[in-house]
Structure 1
Amino acid sequence: MALFTNKRNIGIALTILSTLIFAMQDAITKQLVSDHPVWFIMMVRFWVLLVIAVGWALVSKQGFYSVLRTKRPGVQLLRGLFLFGEIALISFAFSMLGLADVTAIFQAHPLIVTGLAAVFLGETVGWRRILAMLVGMGGLMVMLQPEGNIVGPGAFVALGASLSFALYQLFTRLASRDDSALTSFLYVGIVGTVLSTIIGSQYMMAMDEVEWGLLLGICATGTSAHFLLMKALSLAQASDIQPFNYLQLVWAIPIGFLVFSDLPVWSTLFGAMIVVGAGLFSLSRQRIRAIEKADGSSDPVIDAGIAKTQAD
């Protein structure tokens, strides 16, 4: 088909597929954390991730020790801590709330990244993107309003996961200035494995074949989804595929209903629409500014084709 002969279209298709697989991973996680310790599940996940990261480093052209060498050890440590915190918090949130509810709140992270990048990285954020952030925060308030069904500890745990992931992305940007992507990947595995083993080893438990299958399913879906996303970024520009990451919420709603009989209430859906809309607007402004900076143009009407911006 001609549709899939264009690299950009293939990249978008792979991104859409990755969002579906991520939603499936979240569903399996929610199923497991209802009866099993989060820390034990995380320990297994990080050990699998570390094995993959070490194996990748060993076969890379850089060589293992070159990959291991980092110019920003403190930043890499913080990246690992924030990703560890995000996975822990969102896993606990899944044990408290519905799949779509957690996913909806988590979608605030691109807006949080925009605000943090302006404060800590000195990135220029125009008034339109500031307005988009405020509108997005308003969407969060709609989701968290008392008449909804998600207000409570679980909602704030999910919001904490979103903040932690935003901080992880912020420090990833800092690390990328001096370290390769493979170095960053390896350190996430090292930090996460050390922390999860220290805590998770105290929660060791026996599991049957089905439970081990689900746990390995989490590892398999996470690995395959990240691979698809990396492949997508090699085929299409980040600004082209970023908006499609919001489709994870679209997948989470039917999966949550089919697997857990969960349906979000109107306030969650309406608030999520506001957050996603604000996020998409912010991304479009980011892309426009990138193009203007690249070609010196100040024309606000720019073909939506193209700008190479760093993925959040």
Structure 2
Amino acid sequence: MSRATNKAAALAQSNNIPLGITLMVLTTFVFAVQDGLSRHLASEYNVIMVVMIRYWFFAAFVIAIAKRHAGGLSAVARTSQPVLQALRGLLLAVEIYVMIVAFTLLGLVESHAVFTCYPLLVAALSGPVLGESVGWRRWSAIGVGFIGVLIILQPGANVFDPAAIIPLIAAALFAVYGLLTRYVGRKDKTATSFFWTGVTGSIAMTAAGIWFWEPMIATDWIYMLCLCVTGVTGHWLLIRCYEVAEASAVQPFAYLQLVFASIIGISVFGEDVRTNVAIGAALIVAAGLFTFWRERQQR
């Protein structure tokens, strides 16, 4: 087979959209199951401890992945931006902690409905932070999305639950993490960023979580093992997804995590979907899909 034929075959394989969509759907399902396990464990044990154990497995996973790359662990860990890489890892660890707290206070349905706005935050901040162009159409979509957030939060209601702000804080943290990931990606490889994400988060959560250790019953250790396995599996599926297909083609299907998480919240934890949450979430998802479409058109 000629070099040109090999190159064409590699290009076709790297943009296998049906396979990419399948992997993204599986990823969102696995992450939704992970969120359900996190909700259960965090209602029984200290949240920081739960996140710490989860990060131990995550760090082991990224180190194992790094060892398989050319040059080994030292080559993958090498970066000219260690402060930014460490900041990314810390932001993600804090975001995960904040989001799990939201699960325990609000449940999966409402937490994910608000958190779904994070792509709109990324789009809004990509201009001032990364210097990217954001046209009036995307600004309009961002505005519609935040109307959806306000509908969910109901800030003018007589009884406003301040806990509803928590998933919005998590979305903001994740958006900044995403922007920093784009920024460091201009110089570092994906494997390097992935390595720093797992290792930095593990160090930070261990430093904080070791003081909150609680004994766990045998049954919950099984749930914890399942949590760690779903975390590693979800990240592996996500990596494979972006390896086989363009991100802009598969990213809209990431919204299915809201659907799967809502199903788990309703069927397992007895949550319900309030009308304002359903309407607000629909607006946020529609605005997010339009934002992705505009980004793809401009590319």
TM-score (norm 2): 0.92
Deviates more, 1:151-160 or 1:195-204: 151-160
The whole-number CA distance in structure 1 between the counterparts of 2:101 and 2:120 is: 23
Q: Which runs of 5+ in 1 are unaligned?
A: 1-5, 291-312
Distance apart, 1:7 and its partner CA? 2.4
Q: Which amino acid aligns with 1:263?
A: D
The whole-number CA distance in structure 2 between the counterparts of 1:148 and 1:278 is: 24
Which position in structure 2 is the counterpart of 1:298? none
The whole-number CA distance in structure 1 between the counterparts of 2:134 and 2:153 is: 27
The answer to whether the 8 Å contact 2:113/2:277 transfers is yes
State yes or no: 1:88 paired with 2:97: yes
Please, which of 32, 35, 60 is the counterpart of residue 41 of structure 2?
Answer: 32
Which position in structure 2 is the counterpart of 1:140? 149
Please, which of 263, 267, 286 is the counterpart of residue 272 of structure 2?
Answer: 263
The answer to whether the 8 Å contact 2:148/2:284 transfers is yes
Runs of 4+ in 1 over 4 A off after TM superposition: 146-151
Identity %: 39
Query: Could you say if the C-alpha distance between residues 10 and 217 of structure 1 is closer, same or farther in structure 2, counting changes exceeding 3 Å?
Result: same
The whole-number CA distance in structure 1 between the counterparts of 2:181 and 2:250 is: 19
Which position in structure 2 is the counterpart of 1:236? 245
State yes or no: 1:210 paired with 2:219: yes
Which position in structure 2 is the counterpart of 1:195? 204
CA RMSD of aligned residues (A): 1.6
Point out the structure with the larger helix share. 2
Distance apart, 1:66 and its partner CA? 1.1
The whole-number CA distance in structure 2 between the counterparts of 1:55 and 1:251 is: 29
The answer to whether the 8 Å contact 1:132/1:281 transfers is yes
Query: Could you say if the C-alpha distance between residues 152 and 57 of structure 1 is closer, same or farther in structure 2, counting changes exceeding 3 Å?
Result: same
Query: Could you say if the C-alpha distance between residues 277 and 156 of structure 1 is closer, same or farther in structure 2, counting changes exceeding 3 Å?
Result: same
Q: Which amino acid aligns with 2:194?
A: F
The whole-number CA distance in structure 2 between the counterparts of 1:98 and 1:150 is: 18
Which position in structure 1 is the counterpart of 2:73? 64
The whole-number CA distance in structure 2 between the counterparts of 1:28 and 1:147 is: 33
Residue-pair matches, total: 285
The answer to whether the 8 Å contact 2:32/2:261 transfers is yes
Deviates more, 1:51-60 or 1:171-180: 51-60
Deviates more, 1:68-77 or 1:127-136: 68-77
Q: 1:248-297 deviations in whole A, cap 9, x for unaligned?
A: 1111222111110101200000000000000001111111111xxxxxxx
Alignment of 1:219-298 (within 5 A): 219-290=228-299
Please, which of 183, 188, 199 is the counterpart of residue 192 of structure 2?
Answer: 183
The answer to whether the 8 Å contact 1:97/1:150 transfers is no
Q: Relative contact order (alpha carbons < 8 A, sep ≥ 6): 1 or 2 greater?
A: 2
Q: 1:38-72 deviations in whole A, cap 9, x for unaligned?
A: 11111111111111112222232131111111111
Query: Could you say if the C-alpha distance between residues 120 and 144 of structure 1 is closer, same or farther in structure 2, counting changes exceeding 3 Å?
Result: same
Please, which of 150, 155, 163 is the counterpart of residue 154 of structure 1?
Answer: 163
The whole-number CA distance in structure 2 between the counterparts of 1:225 and 1:46 is: 14
Q: Which amino acid aligns with 1:152?
A: D
Please, which of 119, 124, 147 is the counterpart of residue 133 of structure 2?
Answer: 124
The SS at the match of 1:33 is helix
The answer to whether the 8 Å contact 2:57/2:232 transfers is no
The whole-number CA distance in structure 1 between the counterparts of 2:206 and 2:100 is: 17
The answer to whether the 8 Å contact 1:104/1:268 transfers is yes
Query: Could you say if the C-alpha distance between residues 148 and 30 of structure 1 is closer, same or farther in structure 2, counting changes exceeding 3 Å?
Result: farther
The whole-number CA distance in structure 2 between the counterparts of 1:112 and 1:211 is: 36
Please, which of 75, 79, 85 is the counterpart of residue 84 of structure 2?
Answer: 75
Query: Could you say if the C-alpha distance between residues 149 and 136 of structure 1 is closer, same or farther in structure 2, counting changes exceeding 3 Å?
Result: farther
